[in-house]
Structure 1
Amino acid sequence: MSNIIKEITPLTQNDCFTIFSRVKKEFNFPLHYHEEFELNLILNAKGAKRIVGDHIDVIDDMELVLVGPNLHHAWFTHQCQSEEITEVTIQWHKDLFDDKFLRRNQLSFIRKMFERSLKGILFTRETIQVVSPRILALNQMQGFDGVMELLSILHDLSTSRNIRTLSDISFNNDQNFNYSSRRLEKAFEYMNNNYSKDVSLRDIAKLVNMSEVSFSRFIKKRIGTTFIDSLNEIRLGHASRMLIDTTHSIAEISYNCGFNNISNFNRIFKKKKNCTPREFRENFAGTRVFV
């Protein structure tokens, strides 16, 4: 499991979702997982290999997969010989749709689909043929219309026939998709709003009325990472977005995201993402839209 990396996505707390579309000749992103839901549409990639959880399969010329939070996954070129692989990836926060909202009668199918996605879901060819034009068109939509269309697509997917669960086991330790802690929510809100500044453990501990030692133990127990790792993940998320969305230099992005020097930024970025900031920017030379 040590070769599975945690992806820090460019989504910020102010975004509903992001959609990323590109045409490429190979799959080169390593086995990874992330906190967000991901819907992946892949066309013209017959012979590529897919890994979701403990499930491995060789794919056909089109596929649509929904991956839940913290479930490791990846696609590999394998025997695919296509020169024009089309990949459209939609990612959204695991708390975009509140649990109380999903428990309404009209949303029950989506809630059940999300629960099944913790093991990965593969949709049928018939479903892909119906939904793929809408997913491709979503790339051109902005604001409220985009959010409503995403919700509509998810509803249609949740009511489609012959949904197949991929992995035999789930790798998600957070079944409710939230921290269930006002202190953690307050801490993460502060870190998200102040990531570009010097944020210390003392600041956060004081904010939530805990000692530094107590908060360190608290955050480690609740989410499995240390305070500094959590802060760095937030900073890397914003840095990833700037690498994709702006022409700022890597040094500028490093300082704008709260890293004290560029060498430290490069080291942490490569450790977390398995590539340098420059390689990341080159790899994501496609169309990415944030809504």
Structure 2
Amino acid sequence: MPVSILRETTPLLEEDCFMVFVREKSNFDFPLHVHAEYELNFIEDAKGAQRIVGDSIEEIEDIELSLIANADLEHGWFIHNCTSPKIKEITIQFHADLLNSQILSKNQFISIKKLFEKAKYGVTFSKSTIKDIKSLLLDLPKEREGFYAVIKLFEILYKLSKSIDYRALSSRSFHNNLQDYDSRRINKIIQLLMENYRRDISLKEVGNLIGMTEVSVSRFLKQRTGRTFIDTLNDIRLGHASRMLVDTTHSIAEIALANGFNNLSNFNRIFLKKRGGTPSEFRNKFRDHKFYL
């Protein structure tokens, strides 16, 4: 019996801009799922619950806010180590074209455009950012006038987009998507790594591609992406390996070899460091939260 990801059909109508769901509950009972709509999810008093977004698996704190802007990015929240009897949740779902490309290209909306681009991989926000907009989130469901409710949603998205304290969750290579770094040379490097991650790639090869010395390439990557060359390459390899762990029955050794890790113990060590668990634990967690066809 195959294991699958649930493709949810939400109640959001084409005629509506967005919908807000306010819940109090003691459990999370929805499997891993995807849906066409963008989703902003606020959770309070659920410390110890587990968030899965793509290949990111983390325990959440007592206050949580994440944005998903990808119709194919699996996500879900699960009770895990949470013991709270009353979990508060506000879920906002809106159409991907609520702010179309023409609007997002305007100067006043550039920060929201960048937020949506990063949210293709899911993003989560810091406690301080959440506290800054919490009152807006709580007020939104109370707004009875549809026009002003949309304006409030835009205000929430704008304030979130101006925050410096949000981070991407899923690996880019887990969905085989490239991020635009607003740098031609960085994008050329990432393209090279994405297409050749299964083999050995040297800094010299990368340097020849963009006309830089090995030392300059390493410094350039670190400055522009915040990651070293090895971290960047390993992140791409781990994203593809994670996808194989989820979607195939290949052995861990086979998956390691297929994704450029020639040493199984090295693969296990890097996976544990980056994912907080072993490849086997990662595979089992995903399977636990899928459903059976």
Q: Is 1:34 aligned to residue 14 of structure 2?
A: no
Q: Is 1:160 aligned to residue 170 of structure 2?
A: no
Q: Is 1:57 aligned to residue 42 of structure 2?
A: no
Contact 2:129 2:165 in 1 (8 A): no
CA distance in 2: counterparts of 1:155 and 1:171, whole angstroms:
26
Question: Alignment partner of 1:111: what SS?
Answer: helix
Q: Tell me which residue corresponds to 1:245.
A: none
Q: Give the structure-2-normalised TM-score.
A: 0.58
Q: Tell me which residue corresponds to 2:243.
A: none
CA distance in 1: counterparts of 2:3 and 2:97, whole angstroms:
27
**Structure 1 counterpart of 2:131, which letter?**
Q
Percent identity between matched residues is: 45
Q: Tell me which residue corresponds to 1:140.
A: 142
Q: Is 1:112 aligned to residue 114 of structure 2?
A: yes
* Structure of greater Rg: 2
* Residues matched between the structures, number: 178
CA distance in 1: counterparts of 2:8 and 2:95, whole angstroms:
13
Runs of 4+ displaced beyond 6 Å: none
Q: What's the offset of the Cα at 1:2? A: 3.8
Q: Tell me which residue corresponds to 1:83.
A: 85
Contact 1:36 1:91 in 2 (8 A): yes
Contact 1:118 1:172 in 2 (8 A): no
Relative to structure 1, the CA distance from residue 128 to residue 10 in structure 2 (aligned partners, 3 Å threshold; closer, same or farther) is same
Q: What's the offset of the Cα at 1:172? A: 8.5
Relative to structure 1, the CA distance from residue 149 to residue 140 in structure 2 (aligned partners, 3 Å threshold; closer, same or farther) is same
Q: What's the offset of the Cα at 1:136? A: 1.1
Query: Which protein, 1 or 2, shows the higher relative CO under an 8 Å CA cutoff with sep ≥ 6?
Result: 1
**Structure 2 counterpart of 1:72, which letter?**
E
Q: Tell me which residue corresponds to 1:73.
A: 75
| Structure 2: runs of 5+ lacking an equivalent | 180-290
**Structure 1 counterpart of 2:32, which letter?**
L
Q: Give the structure-1-normalised TM-score.
A: 0.58
**Structure 1 counterpart of 2:112, which letter?**
I
Q: Tell me which residue corresponds to 2:22.
A: 21
CA distance in 1: counterparts of 2:29 and 2:133, whole angstroms:
26
Q: What's the offset of the Cα at 1:69? A: 2.2
Contact 1:118 1:171 in 2 (8 A): no
CA distance in 2: counterparts of 1:101 and 1:109, whole angstroms:
12
Q: Tell me which residue corresponds to 1:151.
A: 154
CA distance in 2: counterparts of 1:99 and 1:49, whole angstroms:
33
